[in-house]
Structure 1
Amino acid sequence: MFVAAAGAYVHVVTHFIQAGLLSALGSLGLMVWLMATPHSHETEQKRLGLLAGFAFLTALNLMVLFFNSILPTAFMGTAMIFTCFTLSALYARRRSYLFLGGILMSAMSLMLLSSLGNLFFGSIWLFQANLYVGLVVMCGFVLFDTQLIIEKAENGDKDYIWHCIDLFLDFVTLFRKLMMILAMNEKDKKKEKK
């Protein structure tokens, strides 16, 4: 998160608007490279560097998409939601949220199909429904991924770098959804004032 914050800060200071596509491709490339690098003691430093680069470029790309006055509100809201759902998963009975995996993936598939359909219909209602349902689904993924990581660790999977990627992606997606909802609400308030 500190490296991602550094990426956001670099964007704010330099106003590097052209970084959108480049940072997206760079973060995707680093993620693929990280997946291809095996987990071992010898590759740990290399994988940590790839993780840092991925976080930096992801935050840079996110700031290109969304930078305005609601950023602190969205970040604090995301941090609170993420913390609450993570603590809930940590203190819940072991494996009690693992059943959510199939439901969440089905919901993601339906959201993808409705988003593709909305390209043709252009319905603002469907777009808003997708945002709010997506926020709920991502909260479910925080529960699921946290318990899945605990279960994997207890079964011998000690790849904490990849576990970091799972939780980081949950956080970023939550942040993106919340930022879009807040931006949409702010836009509606400005319309009402006029």
Structure 2
Amino acid sequence: MDAFSSFFDSQPASTNRWTYDSLKNFRQISPVVQSHLYQVYLTLGCALVASAAGAYLHILWNIGGILTTLAGIGCIAWLMATPPYEERKRVSMLMAAALLEGASTGPLIGLAIDIDPSVLVSAFVGTAVAFGCFSAAAMFARRREYLYLGGLLSSGISMLLWLHFASSIFGGSTALFKFELYFGLLLFVGYMVVDTQEIIERAHLGDMDYVKHALTLFTDFFGVFVRLLIIMLRNSVEKTRRRRRKGGTKCMDFGLFFNAAA
């Protein structure tokens, strides 16, 4: 066995061959930054649990609406204004903001449960898979490789906001709503990559504010989840309409839910 193992140890290692060490090698990510990322994603997971609890509370007591949306924005502003050394207070503000965000999305989630509960699970799993894949791509990539996309994505967000503002004033067609939906999904997926690499870069420079970084990733995750859920709901309703040629399924205004969630 020693001779057998020494034979493979003596072979030249190929640079293209996958090894377990290459899986553990996060390029230029130091152990300190890896520990910071672990803390960020752990906090993000807790925020997602709080968000799910908020959606459940809405289903029980119908608490979601404009008030929870404004309260969630207030919690985020309070969090950003709180000094980093008040760690417990900032974590509490993040959990409260996530809870209120989940309650605000409660009407959309309740609609998904009424139409097809499997759509809700599929949207969450799809968002989680996309988030994991694109975050891993940002971690394994070279430092600053994707940061240059930030300006392009910011321009796209500005264009999306102006289109949304114009459609709310002058009225928008179904085609415009679909464009906002799919284009917004593309932008938030791009932000998953850019924000992950920006968090890594900031951590290398000494910024270890894991609460703020978790809030950034939570916003990206939620933006993708809401848009993916609306797309799947639309597809489910359209399939039902095809099955019922003589009517029966009333047209639903998904734009109202999208406007509230966006």
Tell me the TM-score range normalised by the shorter chain.
over 0.9
CA distance in 2: counterparts of 1:23 and 1:127, whole angstroms: 25
**Is 2:190 the partner of 1:140?**
yes
- TM superposition outliers: structure 1 runs of 4+ over 3 Å: none
Of 119, 138, 163, which aligns to 1:114?
Answer: 163
Q: Is the Cα contact below 8 Å between 1:20 and 1:65 reproduced in 2?
A: no
CA displacement at 1:121 relative to structure 2:
4.2
Of 157, 161, 173, which aligns to 1:123?
Answer: 173
Report the counterpart of residue 149 of structure 1 in structure 2: 199
CA distance in 1: counterparts of 2:214 and 2:53, whole angstroms: 17
CA distance in 2: counterparts of 1:33 and 1:121, whole angstroms: 34
Query: 1:179 is paired with a residue of what secondary structure?
Result: helix
Report the counterpart of residue 8 of structure 1 in structure 2: 55
**Is 2:97 the partner of 1:48?**
no
Please list the CA deviations of residues 121-172 of structure 1 after superposition, one character each: whole Å capped at 9, or x if unmatched.
4211111011111111111000000000001111011111000100000001
Q: Which runs of 5+ in 1 are unaligned?
A: none
CA distance in 1: counterparts of 2:238 and 2:108, whole angstroms: 19
Q: Which runs of 5+ in 2 are unaligned?
A: 1-47, 245-262
Report the counterpart of residue 63 of structure 1 in structure 2: 106
CA distance in 2: counterparts of 1:186 and 1:64, whole angstroms: 17
Q: Is the Cα contact below 8 Å between 1:27 and 1:54 reproduced in 2?
A: yes
Q: Is the Cα contact below 8 Å between 2:64 and 2:105 reproduced in 1?
A: no
Report the counterpart of residue 96 of structure 1 in structure 2: 145
**Is 2:208 the partner of 1:162?**
no
Please list the CA deviations of residues 64-86 of structure 1 after superposition, one character each: whole Å capped at 9, or x if unmatched.
33322221111111111111111
**Is 2:65 the partner of 1:20?**
yes
CA displacement at 1:192 relative to structure 2:
1.4
- Given the two structures, how large is their TM-score scaled by the length of structure 1? 0.92
**Is 2:234 the partner of 1:187?**
no
CA distance in 1: counterparts of 2:95 and 2:176, whole angstroms: 36
- Given the two structures, how large is their TM-score scaled by the length of structure 2? 0.69
CA distance in 1: counterparts of 2:161 and 2:181, whole angstroms: 11
Q: Is the Cα contact below 8 Å between 1:47 and 1:161 reproduced in 2?
A: yes
Q: CA RMSD in A?
A: 1.3
CA distance in 2: counterparts of 1:103 and 1:166, whole angstroms: 18
Q: Which amino acid aligns with 2:82?
A: T
Query: 1:66 is paired with a residue of what secondary structure?
Result: helix
Report the counterpart of residue 79 of structure 1 in structure 2: 128
Q: Is the Cα contact below 8 Å between 2:55 and 2:109 reproduced in 1?
A: no
Number of equivalent positions: 190
